[in-house]
């Protein structure tokens, strides 16, 4: 499967927070933002974090950020949007 367009959309707030994390945490240049799923059976949990690319990954660049997704996870992520929320009690990424 060859996809030219990344299957996941990111809000501007999410991209800003990802850049903030990269800068503050000193994420190594050999790492990329991994978007994926965990679980199966009755459902999957969508995940986000930093990791080294693997052979089975597909890679994109989005607003200067390297994004990787395992090819087997792409079908579970097509059409998802990642946003970032922050209020007085909590903050985090949200998959919609």
- pTM value is 0.89
Range of the domain at 86: 9-95
DSSP H helices in the chain: 12-25, 74-77
pLDDT band at 42 (very low <50, low <70, confident <90, very high): confident
Name every residue whose Cβ is closer than 8 Å to that of residue 34 and which is 6 or more positions away in sequence: 47, 48, 49, 50, 51, 57, 67, 68, 69
**pLDDT tens-digit profile of 53-76?**
999 999 999 999 999 999 999 999
Domain contains 39: yes
Structural domain count of the chain: 1
Query: Residue 44: its pLDDT value, please?
Result: 84
Task: Provide the pLDDT for residue 39.
Answer: 84
pLDDT of residue 54: 96
Average pLDDT, the chain: 92
First vs last C-alpha separation in the chain:
24
User: pLDDT at residue 4 above 80?
Assistant: no
In a domain, 21, yes or no: yes
Rounded to an integer, what distance in angstroms lies between the CA atom of residue 54 and that of residue 84?
26
């Amino acid at each position: 499967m060859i996809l030219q367009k990344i299957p996941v959309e990111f809000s501007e707030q999410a991209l800003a927070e990802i850049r903030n994390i990269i800068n503050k945490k000193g994420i190594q240049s050999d790492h990329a933002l991994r978007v994926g799923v965990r679980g199966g059976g009755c459902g999957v949990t969508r995940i986000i974090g930093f990791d080294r690319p693997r052979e089975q990954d597909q890679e994109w660049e989005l607003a200067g950020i390297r994004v990787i997704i395992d090819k087997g996870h792409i079908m579970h992520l097509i059409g998802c949007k990642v946003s970032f929320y922050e209020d007085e009690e909590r903050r985090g990424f949200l998959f919609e």
